[in-house]
């Protein structure tokens, strides 16, 4: 039996039923009961991500939302949420590189690493001095001391020079030209080991276990131009000139922090300290001057103290005190993000990055299994090096200019270090 339709064509009931079923399958509704391009209500929201049916694929190969047999049934638009740049930068929690440093002395009072403007790292391993070129990866042994002598301190001459000062356990300071790999001169003057060194232009300043500070002008035949003996009664384990050369900071095992003004027209300090601070309750080894505020000094105390103190050396005022809850072994400023890095001892042996002047914790880096004795900053300011009593050197890329694009390494590169002197 056939009946006429609206166009006076004859169709059978079975054909109409087939058209209705096809319309519902293709469009989700009976086309005979609806108008073309009729929008009656807003399309329903898309299904949640967790409602995607496992292994249920449509012709296109994409997962099909649960609850719908045909993905064309629900038509919707989705606007991508505008991405917002994170206010905190990416800081890798693993070192970029680990170098083996066998026989590095686990002595809180020594200063055994320094990184110069030419990207050369000097590292003292007991009686031997090694130079690592961080640009090329090459390593050379500069010298080895004889007998029972050992290296106590190292410091590069400033302004990109290739001269290195080395203090030893017998009380002398050696000056080496690292271009020719030769010793330039040997300067005596201390009766005990030289545990700290720093430069102010052509004058190298040395601090000894006796508490005496000497100033050597390396240009002169009579090199010892000044001696300071009234500031400390025990070992001078921290020594740093301010970036502008106006002040010398010295820290001692007598828990004292002294600030010495530069002598008028000279590069060495006056014989009397401008300030003598006794706020720390343990040895003061960790010292670092702020690069962008050269009158600001950060000092850190040992196990019985555990604090970092910030001093305005123009006024002698302690600006702030930070309780780190662990031994402070070393400090380094970062100019890139205006932060302070601290290396610690018991109990976590961690490296902590602090935002300045808020003193909020930015990151904590762990991995050393013994105290972090020394810190050094790369000349480009991107990488901090930590030297631990666990006989490893670790390089952390914490201050990259665009760290948001930096991906965390899948594995740490443990190198067959040039400092290695045997199979371990």
Strand order of the β-sheet with 328-334 is 328-334, 339-344, 351-355, 361-365
- Give residue 414's pLDDT band: very low, low, confident or very high (50, 70, 90): very low
Pairing of strands 52-57, 63-65: antiparallel
Closest by Cα among 41, 36, 43, 63 to 52: 63
Contact at 8 Å (CB) between 129 and 153? no
CA–CA distance, 245 with 198 (Å, rounded to integer): 11
Strand order of the β-sheet with 182-187 is 151-156, 163-168, 173-177, 182-187
Distance linking the first and last C-alpha atoms of the chain: 97
Contact at 8 Å (CB) between 200 and 216? no
Contact at 8 Å (CB) between 109 and 118? no
- Give residue 59's pLDDT band: very low, low, confident or very high (50, 70, 90): very low
CA angle 92, 96, 99 (to 5 degrees): 140
| % pLDDT > 90, the chain | 71
Choice among 23-37, 59-73, 102-116 with the minimum mean pLDDT = 59-73
- Give residue 32's pLDDT band: very low, low, confident or very high (50, 70, 90): low
From its phi and psi, is residue 215 left (phi > 0), alpha (psi between -120 and 50) or beta? beta
With H, G, I as helix, E, B as strand and everything else as coil, classify residue 112.
Answer: coil
Confidence at residue 11, expressed as pLDDT on a 0 to 100 scale: 53
Confidence at residue 99, expressed as pLDDT on a 0 to 100 scale: 96
- Give residue 237's pLDDT band: very low, low, confident or very high (50, 70, 90): very high
pLDDT digits (tens, 9 = 90+) for 160-193: 789 999 999 999 999 999 999 999 999 999 999 9
- Taking the alpha carbons of 260, 337, 153, 192 in that order, is the dihedral positive or negative? positive
Name the token pair of 324.
């780190």
pLDDT digits (tens, 9 = 90+) for 193-205: 999 999 999 999 9
Rounded to a whole number of angstroms, the CA Rg of the chain reads 34
pLDDT digits (tens, 9 = 90+) for 106-142: 999 999 999 999 999 999 999 999 999 999 999 999 9
CATH code 1.10.3210.10 for 97-414 = no
Q: With 80 as the cut, is the pLDDT of residue 95 above it?
A: yes
Based on the number of CB atoms within 10 Å of its own CB, is 31 exposed (0-12), middle (13-18) or buried (19 or more)?
middle
- Give residue 86's pLDDT band: very low, low, confident or very high (50, 70, 90): very low
Contact at 8 Å (CB) between 227 and 194? no
Q: Where are the domains of the chain?
A: 3-65, 97-414
Closest by Cα among 159, 167, 169, 165 to 178: 165
CA–CA distance, 198 with 173 (Å, rounded to integer): 12
Average confidence (pLDDT) over 234-247: 98
Confidence at residue 164, expressed as pLDDT on a 0 to 100 scale: 98
């Amino acid at each position: 039996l056939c009946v006429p339709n609206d166009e006076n064509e004859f169709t059978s009931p079975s054909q109409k039923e087939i058209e209705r079923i096809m319309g519902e399958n293709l469009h989700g509704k009976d086309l005979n009961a609806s108008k073309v391009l009729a929008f009656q209500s807003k399309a329903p929201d898309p299904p949640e991500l967790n409602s995607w049916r496992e292994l249920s694929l449509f012709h296109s190969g994409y997962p099909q939302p649960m609850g719908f047999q045909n993905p064309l049934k629900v038509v919707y638009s989705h606007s991508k949420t505008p991405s917002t740049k994170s206010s905190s930068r990416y800081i890798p929690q693993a070192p970029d590189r680990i170098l083996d440093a066998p026989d590095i002395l686990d002595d809180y009072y020594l200063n055994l690493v320094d990184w110069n403007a030419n990207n050369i790292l000097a590292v003292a391993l007991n009686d031997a001095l090694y130079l690592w070129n961080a640009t090329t990866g090459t390593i050379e042994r500069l010298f080895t001391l004889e007998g029972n002598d050992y290296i106590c301190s190292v410091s590069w001459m400033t302004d990109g020079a290739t001269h290195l000062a080395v203090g030893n356990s017998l009380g002398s300071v050696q000056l080496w030209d690292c271009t020719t790999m030769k010793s330039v001169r040997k300067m005596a003057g201390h009766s005990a080991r030289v545990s700290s060194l720093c430069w102010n232009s052509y004058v190298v300043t040395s601090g000894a276990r006796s508490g005496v500070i000497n100033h050597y002008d390396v240009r002169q035949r009579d090199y010892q131009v000044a001696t300071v003996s009234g500031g400390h009664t025990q070992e001078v384990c921290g020594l740093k000139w301010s970036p502008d050369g106006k002040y010398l900071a010295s820290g001692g095992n007598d828990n004292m922090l002294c600030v010495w003004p530069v002598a008028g027209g000279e590069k060495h300090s006056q014989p009397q300290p401008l300030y003598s601070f006794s706020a720390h309750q343990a040895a003061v080894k960790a010292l670092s001057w702020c690069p962008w505020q050269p009158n600001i000094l950060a000092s850190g105390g040992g196990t019985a103290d555990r604090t970092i103190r910030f001093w305005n050396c123009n006024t002698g005022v302690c600006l702030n005190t930070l309780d780190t809850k662990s031994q402070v072994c070393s400090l380094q400023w970062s100019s890139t993000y205006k932060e302070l890095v601290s290396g610690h001892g018991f109990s976590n042996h961690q490296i902590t990055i602090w935002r300045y002047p808020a003193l909020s914790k930015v990151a904590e880096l762990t991995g050393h299994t013994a105290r972090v004795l020394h810190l050094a900053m790369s000349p480009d300011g991107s990488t901090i090096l930590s030297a631990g009593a666990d006989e490893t050197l670790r390089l952390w890329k914490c201050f990259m200019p665009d760290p948001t694009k930096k991906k965390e390494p899948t594995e740490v590169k443990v190198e067959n270090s040039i400092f290695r002197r045997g199979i371990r």
